Structure 1
Amino acid sequence: MANVNIKFNGKNFLLSCDDGQEEHLEELLNHINEKFSNLKNNLGNLGENKLLLITSVQIMDEYFETKKKVDQKKTELQNLSNKFRELKSLVYDYKDKKEEELKQLSEDHENFKKEIEKNKEDYERIIEAATNEIENFVEKANLENPVQ
Structure 2
Amino acid sequence: MANVNIKFNGKDFLLSCDDGQEEHLEELLTHINEKFSNLKNDLGNIGENKLLLITSVKIMDEYFETKKKIELKKNELKNLSDRFRELKSLVYEYKDNKEEEMKQLSQDYEDFKKEIEKNKQDYEKIIEEAANEIENFVEKANLENPVQ
Q: TM-score w.r.t. structure 1 length?
A: 0.99
Q: Which residue of 1 aligns with 2:64?
A: 64
User: For each residue in 1:24-56, what CA deviation from the matched residue of structure 2 results, as whole angstroms up to 9, or x when unmatched?
Assistant: 000000000000000001100110100000000
Q: Which residue of 1 aligns with 2:53?
A: 53
Structure 1 unaligned segments of length 5 or more: list them. none
Q: Distance in 2 between matches of 1:73 and 1:125?
A: 76
Tell me whether 1:32 sits opposite 2:32 in the alignment. Answer: yes
Three-state SS of the structure 2 residue aligned to 1:7 is strand
Q: Which residue of 2 aligns with 1:111?
A: 111
Q: Percent of pairs identical after alignment?
A: 85
Q: Distance in 2 between matches of 1:42 and 1:82?
A: 47
Q: TM-score w.r.t. structure 2 length?
A: 0.99
Q: Distance in 2 between matches of 1:52 and 1:20?
A: 27
User: For each residue in 1:45-99, what CA deviation from the matched residue of structure 2 results, as whole angstroms up to 9, or x when unmatched?
Assistant: 1101000000000000100111100100000000000000000000000000000
Q: Distance in 2 between matches of 1:26 and 1:45?
A: 25
Question: Which consecutive aligned stretches of 4+ in structure 1 deviate over 3 angstroms post-superposition?
Answer: none
Structure 2 unaligned segments of length 5 or more: list them. none
Summarize the alignment of residues 1-148 of structure 1 with structure 2, pairs less than 5 Å apart: 1-148=1-148
